Chains A and B, each alone.
Chain A
Amino acid sequence: MSEGRDSKPFQDWLESCHQFLASQPMSDELRQKCQTLFGAWQRFGETVADAGADAGRGGPFDPAGWVDLAGAGGFGDLFAWFGGAEAGPWAARKQALELTREWTAYAGAMARYRSVAGAAWFAALKRFAEEIAGQGAIPDFQALQASWQRVADEELAKAQRSEDYLNAQRDLIRARLDCTAILKKQIGDLAQLLDIPTRAEIDELHRTVRALRDELRGLRRED
């Protein structure tokens, strides 16, 4: 086996398997078969690793990767081949965690936004009650409704211009965008895996068509 970057873990693993089996009671015939199998693995691993080293990198069959799931080569490359550039045994879990994190941030931003907006509705209700109380006789429903609409829209408009509201609005939009960005990335990875054109690829196509159209219009204008 070549003395490449990660060749030792594979040898260590083979050696530990070897020692484990040696410590187990078994027939001579079975022990002989195991030793033959280990020998074959050893030779196979060395051959593939040498080929990978000659090519300047490991590959899906580089034994270094067989015991190093998250590293390059071996299983890492296999996962990448199946699931895209950033795929790996933990990638799906990592993406799910990222999405959960962003979704939680979005829910928090939504709660803050609702709290600011809710406070404005309460302020409107308080002012409305004060105005009604100050009028003595309760007006008919139509007048009551008109009065509520005026007071509420004034109070809400005031609140919607406040720094608190503007900050909550900004944070809510940002949180929503961050959340959809993660979702889009996951969908893009899936599209790549299934060989379906991604949104970015279709957009690129539209930009090309648009550029051609502009060129055509430019030529027409020159005519």
Chain B
Amino acid sequence: MAGPNPWTGFADPGLVADLMSRLRHGLAAGGGVEIGATPKDEIWRDGKVSLCRYRREEEANRDEPPLLVVHGLIGRQTISDLEPGRSLVQRLLGFGADIFVLDWGSPGPEDRCKDFTDYAEDHLGDALAEIRKAAGRPKAAILGICQGGVFALCHAARHPGRVAGVIAAITPVDFHADKDLPPPENGLLNHWIRNLPETLLTDLIDDRGMLAGQLTGALFQQLKPARTLAKYTYGLASMAADKAAMETFLRMETWLADRPDMPGAAAKEWLIALYQQNRLVEGKFKIAGRPVDLGAIACPVLNIFGSHDHIVPPACSRALGRYLAPSLYTELEVPTGHVGVFVSRQSQQIVAPAIADWLGAITP
């Protein structure tokens, strides 16, 4: 529904009152928005970590492996199922995929000792074992998102026979690949983290034993301060008359505001061993006491990244191709930013069909 243009009618008190009223109603009505609402059933749990399987009305494709969606510890898995029309999960279900999703829960201070071994080795290994049982298939493919992509790559490298394929989406691999590039290709977040002394990062994490989700959220907002401000002022006012846009906005905000804390041990590996020391591509990053060798990955890999990603610079993701056999490696560049790979209108027509094609082409 077309509404008044908020910025040409400010001289008219009636229009301003109408705009404010629409905003108030829109925000109130959107208070109950739901995200991650596609029906699913929990099939396994270990403490706070749970594995769910999305419901299907028809049988899944038997000629492709089941798919496990694995997010990082920075944002919740609900972003891949934001709302009908902006749900990678729903689109993949529509293509016949059998989809599982890992939920890391909300780590608290009692989880501060959990590290990459817990997530990338133990929990991920347990989840794959459960999928083998539940789906009755020998192997599953993993869709790892952002940090979840690092988990997936580490697991595939350590257990070459266990994974049918890896989709690394918006995943940093060479954390220094942007170092010598000019801004904005040189990521601001990377620049900040590289310039903080290791002791300060350690103290920052030890202060609460966790990397606070609130802090990471604030840092992301700080990367584009003017855009953030505009979103809550001009952007919000502009969508006052558009109920659907307002609901999408509120769903995104719900997701953004719900950032879990990252356990301290994992956060140190993420920020120090990877962001600062770039150990993964140097073959020095250890999981369960042994270095991860990306070259040991023996399954097909699809690397998806956003060409305007200001959080994970494309160069850092794209570097993955250098460490894998060319016959195993496929790349998909999406003309969006970081989260836009999953939620932008444009990406809806690109990402899910590409994943479905790729899944269909690999051996289950």
- With contacts A145-B234, A174-B200, A217-B122 taken as known, whether A161 is within 8 angstroms of B191 at the C-beta atoms is yes
Q: Which of A31-39, A147-155, A187-195 contacts B (4 or more CB under 8 A)?
A: A147-155
| The one of A141, A148, A160, A202 that contacts B8, using a Cβ cutoff of 8 Å | A141
The reply to whether B207 and A166 form a contact with Cβ atoms under 8 Å apart is no
Q: Is B183's CB within 8 Å of the partner chain A?
A: yes
Q: Does A130 contact B (CB under 8 A)?
A: no
B-facing mask of A143-186, CB < 8 A → 1, else 0? Answer: 00100110011001110110000100110011001001100000
Distance of B192 from chain A, by nearest CB (Å): 7
Contact assessment for B226 and A149 in the assembled complex, using a CB-CB cutoff below 8 Å: yes
A217 to chain B, nearest CB (A): 6
A145 CA / B231 CA spacing, docked (Å):
11
Contact A149 to B7, CB < 8 A, known contacts A166-B192, A206-B113: no
Cross-chain contact A153 with B225 (CB below 8 angstroms): yes
How far is A154 from B333 in the complex, measured between Cα atoms in Å?
Answer: 24
B162 → chain A closest CB, angstroms:
14
Q: Check B113 against A145 for contact (C-beta < 8 Å).
A: no
Interface residue? B361 (CB, 8 A): no
Chain B, residue nearest A158 (CB): B183
Asked if A210 is at the interface (CB within 8 A of a chain B CB), the reply is: yes
A207 close to B (CB within 8 Å): yes
| A135, CB-defined interface residue at 8 Å | no
Size class of the contact patch on chain B: 20 to 34
User: Which of A149, A181, A206 interacts with B110 by CB under 8 Å?
Assistant: A206
Residues facing A in B104-158 (CB within 8 A) are: 109-110, 112-114, 122
Q: B interface, by DSSP: helix, strand, loop or mixed?
A: helix
* B207 adjacent to A180 (CB under 8 Å): yes
Which one of A140, A149, A156 has the highest number of Cβ atoms from chain B below 10 Å of its Cβ?
A149
B residues 224-283 with Cβ under 8 Å of A? 224-227, 230, 234
B183–A157 CB distance below 8 A: yes
Chain B neighbourhood of A152, CB < 8 A: 225-226
**Distance, CA A214 to CA B149, complexed state (A):** 24
B90 to chain A, nearest CB (A): 32
Collect the chain B residues with CB atoms within 8 Å of residue A173's CB.
Answer: 196, 200, 204
In the complex, what distance in Å separates the CA atom of A41 from the CA atom of B139? 87
Residues of A near B209 (CB, < 8 A) are: 203
Q: A153-B225, A156-B226 are in contact. Are A206 and B112 (CB under 8 A)?
A: yes
Contact-residue bracket for chain A: 20 to 34
Cα–Cα distance between A210 and B263 once the two chains are bound (Å): 13
Q: B188 within 8 Å of A by Cβ? A: yes
B327 at the interface (CB under 8 A from A): no
Cβ contact within 8 Å between B113 and A160: no
A169 and B207 CA atoms in complex are apart in Å by 17
User: In the bound complex, how far is the Cα of B203 from the Cα of A145, in angstroms?
Assistant: 40
Given the complex, which residues of B lie within 8 Å of A181, measured CB to CB?
A: 207
Q: A145-B234, A157-B184, A173-B200 are in contact. Are A166 and B195 (CB under 8 A)?
A: yes
Taken together as a complex, chains A and B put the C-alpha atoms of A31 and B224 apart, in Å, by 84
Is B197 part of the binding interface, using a Cβ–Cβ cutoff of 8 Å?
yes
Residues of the B chain whose Cβ atoms lie less than 8 Å from the Cβ of A157: 183-184, 188, 223-224
* Residue in B7, B112, B207 whose CB lies within 8 Å of A203: B112
Contact yes or no, A160 B226, CB < 8 A = no
A141 touches B113 (CB 8 A): no
Cross-interface CB contact of B226 among A142, A148, A161, A210, cutoff 8 Å: A148
CA distance A152 to B226 in the complex (A): 6
Asked if A124 is at the interface (CB within 8 A of a chain B CB), the reply is yes
Residues of B near A174 (CB, < 8 A) are 200, 203
Residues of A within 8 A of B183 (CB): 157-158, 161
* B7 and A160 form a contact (CB under 8 A): no
Minimum CB–CB distance from A142 to chain B (whole Å) comes to 7
- Closest chain A CB from B268 CB (angstroms): 15
For chain B, residues 206 to 232, give those with C-beta under 8 angstroms from any C-beta of chain A: 207, 209, 222-227, 230
B188 touches A153 (CB 8 A): no
* Beta-carbon contact of A169 and B192 below 8 Å: yes
Residues A161 and B207 in contact, CB atoms below 8 Å apart: no
Residue of A nearest to B110 (CB): A206
Query: Within the assembled complex, what's the spacing in Å between the Cα atoms of A180 and B206?
Result: 12
Evaluate contact between A161 and B113: CB separation under 8 angstroms. Answer: no
How many angstroms between the C-alpha atoms of A152 and B204 in the bound complex? 29
On whether the beta carbons of A170 and B224 are closer than 8 Å, the reply is no
- Show 19 residue pairs from A and B whose CB-CB distance is below 8 angstroms, ordered by the A residue: A142-B7, A149-B227, A149-B230, A152-B225, A153-B227, A158-B183, A160-B192, A166-B192, A170-B197, A170-B200, A173-B196, A173-B204, A174-B203, A177-B200, A180-B207, A181-B207, A203-B112, A206-B110, A207-B113
List residues of chain A with CB under 8 Å of any chain B CB.
Answer: 124, 140-142, 145, 148-149, 152-153, 156-158, 160-161, 166, 169-170, 173-174, 177, 180-181, 202-203, 206-207, 210, 217
Extra pairs beyond A160-B192, A174-B200, A177-B203 (18, CB < 8 Å): A141-B7, A141-B8, A145-B234, A149-B226, A149-B230, A152-B226, A153-B225, A153-B226, A157-B188, A157-B223, A161-B188, A161-B191, A177-B200, A206-B109, A206-B112, A207-B113, A210-B114, A217-B122
